[in-house]
């Protein structure tokens, strides 16, 4: 199939739910991807933050290959070796208190399980979520997600979700009632525009939850596994959640989600209360085992911190150069750059010059590169952005003067 056919077939037969860009990816290696014509791109999109360890890491590829030759399916009602290996790893890298895991296949499923768990454990039904939050799009997770565009067509949603301003402790406190089961929070909001909360916010939430007997759910689907410069973002704030939601990068590109909880919390699920046919699938477990090993062996959290500071520094220099850039913010290699206008042209312009970058809302560029991105690649990204922003600015000035 040639490029046009490939694009045509997906446009014709695939549910039309993604805002697509006309690139056909054919391979990837570390922080680079190539299209069908052999054009190379530095991947600051990382499949929406999935490719933390880089594309096609040989250890993951090898682990998947080996597992695929022995066992591809094993339901959770039976045991298999690789799943035990993965569970040991997850429990070893998460705080001691969090030692029970529900395995699923995506972020939204990790959140669904957390919501059900919070309700079952507390016997209460209200959940406090935040304005700007993104937790997924299945009906339960969608009810915790903030964006009206995603929610409105599907009302009525699950009742008893309240949204309060992110970072505003007093508003959270005011929203608590006798029927509050949990607070669900992203330690840094991703889809909401790379919002980093005030330093004391998460510890204040933790205290509030302890005080009122409410569960704290951290959705680290985007921030987890080293992205922000710590293995988990809650470590920046010196807190431990009661329930932790993981997915995206957990299995190096293979679908997997995990809900990790305190033993007493997870034990409120009785046999049959929740399940997933594919949950804990051996192939995904093999991929996740290798991924976690790579993150630790290659010290990727530290790399995210060092490269993130370098990247943010360079983007700050761009902000000083262009009035059109309002703010640069982020932690580690989870970075947002807010503009005073729509960024679609910048994304398309960067793509033409070999850089893939995401948005987060209309006016924010978002960078979620593999943590193995090099300083030289970061330099290239920033130089391309510089050119693209300059061209865009010139064009805007031209249009103004011709009006
Ligand atoms: C992406 C994301 C989700 C949803 O994950 P899916 O795998 O797309 O279902 C949930 N929460 C956060 C914080 C995310 O970034």
Probe residue for ligand 1, chosen from 18, 106, 107 as the CB with the greatest number of ligand atoms within 8 Å: 107
Distance CA 383, CA 315 (A): 10
- pLDDT, position 393: 86
Instruction: Point out the ligand 1 atom lying closest to the alpha carbon of residue 248.
Output: 7
Distance 222 CA to ligand 1 centre (A): 7
Mean pLDDT in residue range 217-237: 98
Distance CA 185, CA 132 (A): 10
Above 90 in pLDDT, residue 397?
no
- pLDDT, position 185: 98
Query: 9-28, pLDDT tens digit by residue?
Result: 999 999 999 999 999 999 99
Mean pLDDT in residue range 213-230: 98
Distance CA 368, CA 381 (A): 12
Above 80 in pLDDT, residue 131?
yes
Distance CA 395, CA 389 (A): 10
Above 90 in pLDDT, residue 29?
yes
Distance 269 CA to ligand 1 centre (A): 23
Buried b (16+ CB within 10 A) or exposed e, 294-313: bbeebebbebbbbbbebbbe
Instruction: Point out the ligand 1 atom lying closest to the alpha carbon of residue 245.
Output: 11
Residue 33 CB coordination number (10 Å): 24
Probe residue for ligand 1, chosen from 103, 133, 135, 246 as the CB with the greatest number of ligand atoms within 8 Å: 135
Instruction: Point out the ligand 1 atom lying closest to the alpha carbon of residue 48.
Output: 1
Distance 108 CA to ligand 1 centre (A): 6
For every residue of 12-80, DSSP letters joined together read HHS-S-S---S--EEEEEBTEEEETT--EEEESSHHHHT-TT-BT-HHHHHHHHHHHTT-S---TTS--
Distance CA 195, CA 364 (A): 11
Instruction: Point out the ligand 1 atom lying closest to the alpha carbon of residue 255.
Output: 7
Would you state the structure tokens that stand for residue 129, as one six-digit string? 């979520």
Q: Which residues line ligand 1 (CB under 6 A)?
A: 106-108, 111, 134-136, 186, 190-191, 219, 221-222, 247-248
Above 80 in pLDDT, residue 403?
no
Q: pTM of the predicted model, to two decimals?
A: 0.97
Q: Is 336 in contact with 316 (CB distance < 8 Å)?
A: no
């Amino acid at each position: 199939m040639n490029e046009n056919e490939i694009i045509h077939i997906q446009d014709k037969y695939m549910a039309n739910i993604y805002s697509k860009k006309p690139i056909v990816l054919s391979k990837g290696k570390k922080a680079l991807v190539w299209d069908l014509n052999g054009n190379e791109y530095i991947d600051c999109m990382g499949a929406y933050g999935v490719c933390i360890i880089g594309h096609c890491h040989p250890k993951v590829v090898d682990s998947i290959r080996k597992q695929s030759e022995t066992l591809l399916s094993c339901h959770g009602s039976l045991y298999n070796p690789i799943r035990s290996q993965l569970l040991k790893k997850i429990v070893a890298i998460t705080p001691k208190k969090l030692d029970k895991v529900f395995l699923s296949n995506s972020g939204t499923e990790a959140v669904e399980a957390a919501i059900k768990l919070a309700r079952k454990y507390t016997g209460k039904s209200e959940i406090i979520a935040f304005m700007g939050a993104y937790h997924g799009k299945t009906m339960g997770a969608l009810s915790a997600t903030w964006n009206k565009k995603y929610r409105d067509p599907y009302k009525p949603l699950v009742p008893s979700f309240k949204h309060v301003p992110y970072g505003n402790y007093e508003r959270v406190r005011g929203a608590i009632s006798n029927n509050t089961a949990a607070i669900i929070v992203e330690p840094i909001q991703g889809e909401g525009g790379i919002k980093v909360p005030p330093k004391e916010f998460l510890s204040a939430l933790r205290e509030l939850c302890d005080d009122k007997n409410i569960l704290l759910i951290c959705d680290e689907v985007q921030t987890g596994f080293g992205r922000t410069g710590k293995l988990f973002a809650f470590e920046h704030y010196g807190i431990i959640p009661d329930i932790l939601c993981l997915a995206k990068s957990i299995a190096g590109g293979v679908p997997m989600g995990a809900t990790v909880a305190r033993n007493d919390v997870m034990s409120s699920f009785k046999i049959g209360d929740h399940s997933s046919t594919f949950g804990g699938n051996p192939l995904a477990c093999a991929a996740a085992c290798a991924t976690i090993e790579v993150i630790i062996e290659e010290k990727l959290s530290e790399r995210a911190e060092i490269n993130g500071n370098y990247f943010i520094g360079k983007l700050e220099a761009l902000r000083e150069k262009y009035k059109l850039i309002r703010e640069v913010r982020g932690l580690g290699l989870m970075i947002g750059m807010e503009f005073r206008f729509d960024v679609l042209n910048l994304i398309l312009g960067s793509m033409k010059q070999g850089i893939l970058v995401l948005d987060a809302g209309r006016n924010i560029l978002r960078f979620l590169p593999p943590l193995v991105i090099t300083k030289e690649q970061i330099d290239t990204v920033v130089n391309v952005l510089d050119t693209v922003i300059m061209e865009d600015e010139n064009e805007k000035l031209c249009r103004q003067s011709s009006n």
